[in-house]
Amino acid sequence: MFRPQASLVVLWALGDDHTRRVIERAHERAISVTLGWLEDAVAETRWASSRKRAKAPALVVARFRHFDNRNGFPLLHDHCLILNRVQRLHDNGKLVWGALDTIRLYQHVVAAGTLYTLTVTTEVCEELGLATVPREVTPGLRPVMEIAGVDQVLIDWSSARRQQIEAALEGITDKYVRDHGRLPGEHARHGLAWQAAQGTRPEKKTARPLEQLLAWWRVSAILCFGQQLVDGLLDRCRAAESAIRARVRPLVDTALAAVDVAAVDFTVRGTFARRHVLAEARRHLGETLRGRAFVPGLDDYFADRALARHGRQLTVPQEGRRTPAPDQLTYTADFPWPARWWIAGTDGKPPRAATRYERARVASLALQNAIRTARTASAATRDEALAATASAAAHSDDHDQAVTEPHAVDHLDRDAALTPVQRAAAVHAHQQAAMPELLEGRTTDPATWVHTPENLARFAAFKREADACRRANAEQDREQKPTTTDPGSQQQHQQPGPEHGHGPGPGQRT
Across the range 131-139, mean pLDDT stands at 85
The tens digit of pLDDT for each residue in 55-113 reads 888 999 999 999 998 888 999 999 999 999 998 888 787 888 989 999 999 999 999 99
Give 188's pLDDT tier (boundaries 50, 70, 90). confident
Q: What band does 256 get if pLDDT is binned at 50, 70 and 90?
A: confident
CA distances from 146 to 8, 23, 190, 337, 399 (A): 7, 14, 22, 31, 52
**pLDDT confidence band for 169 (50 / 70 / 90):** confident
CA gap 315, 324 in Å, rounded:
8
Find, among 94, 424, 418, 51, the residue nearest to 255 by Cα. Answer: 418
More confident site: 450 or 155: 155
CB proximity list for 436: less than 8 A, separation 6 or greater = 336, 337, 338, 339
Alpha-helical runs (H) found in 64-108: 102-107
Percentage of the chain with pLDDT > 90? 31
DSSP class of residue 496 equals: P
Query: 3-state class of 295 per DSSP?
Result: coil
Q: Which residues contact 136 (CB under 8 A, 6 or more apart)?
A: 143
Helices (H), 326-442: 356-394, 420-433, 436-439
Q: Average per-residue pLDDT in the chain?
A: 75
The yes-or-no verdict on residue 234 having pLDDT over 90 is yes
CA distance 42 to 156: 36
CA-wise closest residue to 283 among 353, 218, 360, 336: 360
pLDDT value, residue 434: 41
Mean pLDDT, range 487-492, rounded to an integer: 43
* The pLDDT of residue 425: 52
Cα angle 144, 147, 150; round to 5: 110
pLDDT for 222 equals 94
Q: Indicate the DSSP class of residue 40.
A: I
Model pLDDT, residue 484: 46
Cβ neighbours for 363, distance < 8 A, ≥ 6 positions apart:
263, 264, 266, 267, 335, 338, 434, 439
Residue 129 burial by Cβ neighbours in a 10 Å radius (0-12, 13-18, 19+): middle
Asked whether residue 466 carries a pLDDT value surpassing 60, the answer given is yes
Report the range of poorest mean pLDDT among 266-270, 338-342, 357-361, 501-505: 501-505
How does 51-81 read in b/e, with b if 16+ C-beta sit within 10 Å?
eebeebeebeeeeeeebbbbeebbbbeeeee
Higher pLDDT, 287 or 355: 287
Q: Give residue 39's pLDDT.
A: 93
- Highest average pLDDT, of 303-312, 322-331, 396-405, 482-491, comes from 303-312
Rounded CA separation 476/472 (Å):
6
pLDDT value, residue 170 = 82
| For range 117-141, the mean pLDDT | 90
User: Rounded CA gap, 405 and 93, in Å?
Assistant: 56
What is the mean pLDDT of the segment spanning 394-408? 33
Identify the pLDDT of residue 331: 63
- With bands split at pLDDT 50, 70 and 90, how would you rate the model's confidence at 277? very high
The 10 Å Cβ neighbour count of residue 211 is 8
Highest mean pLDDT among 182-196, 264-278, 412-426, 464-478: 264-278
CA dihedral sign of residues 214, 215, 217, 218: positive
Mean pLDDT of 14-38: 95
* Contact criterion met (CB below 8 Å) for 262 and 368: no
Look at residue 438 and tell me whether its pLDDT is greater than 50.
no
> What is the CA 481 to chain-centroid distance, rounded?
52
Count Cβ atoms within 10 A of the Cβ of residue 197 and give its class: 0-12 exposed, 13-18 middle, 19 or more buried.
Answer: middle
Rounded CA separation 453/37 (Å): 52
292-306 average pLDDT score: 89
Tell me what percent of the residues of the chain surpass a pLDDT of 70: 68
pLDDT at 395: 39
User: Is it the case that residue 486 has pLDDT exceeding 60?
Assistant: no
What sign does the CA torsion over 104, 105, 111, 115 have?
positive
> Domain locations in the chain?
1-158+208-247, 165-205, 251-316+325-389+404-462
Least Cα distance to 101 among 82, 119, 118 occurs for: 82
Those residues whose C-beta lies under 8 Å from the C-beta of residue 267, and which sit 6 or more positions away, are 337, 338, 356, 359, 360, 363, 364
Q: Given this model, what pLDDT does residue 168 score?
A: 84
Q: Is pTM, for the whole model, over 0.85? A: no
Q: Give the pLDDT band of residue 240 (cuts 50, 70, 90).
A: very high
pLDDT above 60 (res 450): no
pLDDT above 50 for 431: no
Helix (H) or strand (E) holding 339: none
Q: pLDDT at position 509, please?
A: 39
What CA–CA distance (Å, rounded) separates 340 from 346? 19
Q: How confident is the model at residue 409, as a pLDDT?
A: 33
Q: Is the pLDDT of residue 264 over 70?
A: yes
pLDDT band, very low/low/confident/very high, at 128 (cuts 50, 70, 90): very high
How remote is the C-alpha of 340 from its chain's centroid?
Answer: 17
Distance separating alpha carbons of residues 394 and 126, to the nearest angstrom: 52
For residue 455, is pLDDT > 60? no
CA distance 279 to 261: 9
